[in-house]
Amino acid sequence: MKDMLDEFRVTDAPFWRQTSDEVELFTAAWDARIPVMLKGPTGCGKTRFVEHMAWRLGRPLVTVACNEDMTASDLVGRYLLDADGTRWQDGPLTFAARHGAICYLDEVVEARQDTTVAIHPLTDDRRVLPLEKKGELLQAHPDFLIVISYNPGYQSLMKDLKQSTKQRFAAMNFTWPEGETEAEILAHEAGIDSETAGKLVEIGARSRNLKGHGLDEGVSTRMLIHAGRLIKGGIAPRAACSMALVNSITDDPDMRDALDAAVATWF
């Protein structure tokens, strides 16, 4: 069993450039075993932050990318048929609760609400998980913690989290890192010089001002890193920005022109 857990250990420190007091806050929630919700747009660092914190706290990390086809059994577990008959297999949530890992449910609103409620009993004081099919009431390991990520931006009312789910979590808001910080992140992640990183940050800021004026979302830190990596790989900066930023964020020709013009003022 130890070996199975080893697979989920974060052994190399994931790079995290602190932006505020997020490390301290997450650590306090961990100490108190309060479930944590990370809120913010896609590509702003939520997943990287959890990886970093799992490493810092020395806990294995079990990540589940949520989607709407996911069932409660996918999270909790099921009986499998094999040559010797049936055998129970823990799902990722059960595995994490049993062995004391951090369970990270990425983009939790993508899951259907009847799936999401499977986490409720683990997030009350009792910290239990009823495995009904197996007839087991699992008491969570003392080091188990549940973390979810959630992008409040483009959800319809139908696809929002229930209040009964939301209210079980302490929430941390993530946004785009402030200019100089984001430039440092780009330089580190893409291996580019700070001048190029600074220009990409300016283009990012420009695009973020267009949010709600033709763009649903601004260019993310992740996209800026992609542009930086293409530049690092020898692609001309304008072409790199078209490919990694402009063409991926919009299908609208006018918007594309506006963004290309922003790119051209810097590169």
Contact positions vs ligand ADP (CB under 6 A): 15-17, 19, 40, 42-48, 177, 185, 189, 221-222, 225
Q: In the structure encoding, which two tokens stand for residue 160, read together?
A: 């929002």
Nearer CB in complex with ligand ADP: 92/177: 177
Q: How far apart are CA 50 and CA 56, in angstroms?
A: 10
Nearer CB in complex with Mg ion: 64/210: 64
Nearer CB in complex with ligand ADP: 208/222: 222
Strands 128-131 and 136-139, sheet pairing: antiparallel
User: φ, ψ for residue 251 (rounded to 5)?
Assistant: -105, -5
Q: How far apart are CA 45 and CA 18, in angstroms?
A: 11
Nearer CB in complex with ligand ADP: 71/181: 181
Burial class (CB in 10 A: 0-12, 13-18, 19+), 266: middle
> Residue 48: which of ligand ADP, Mg ion, none does it interact with, CB under 5 to 8 A by kind?
ligand ADP
Residue nearest to ligand ADP (CB): 45
Minimum gap (Å) between residue 150 Cβ and ligand ADP: 10
Minimum gap (Å) between residue 65 Cβ and Mg ion: 8
> Residue 63: which of Mg ion, ligand ADP, none does it interact with, CB under 5 to 8 A by kind?
none
Per CB under 5 A, the segment of 40-48, 187-195, 204-212, 231-239 that binds Mg ion is: 40-48
Find residue 172's DSSP bridge partners.
38
Alpha helix ranges (H) inside 120-211? 163-166, 179-190, 194-209
- 47 is a site residue for Mg ion (CB under 5 A): yes
Q: How far apart are CA 2 and CA 12, in angstroms?
A: 19
Nearer CB in complex with Mg ion: 47/196: 47
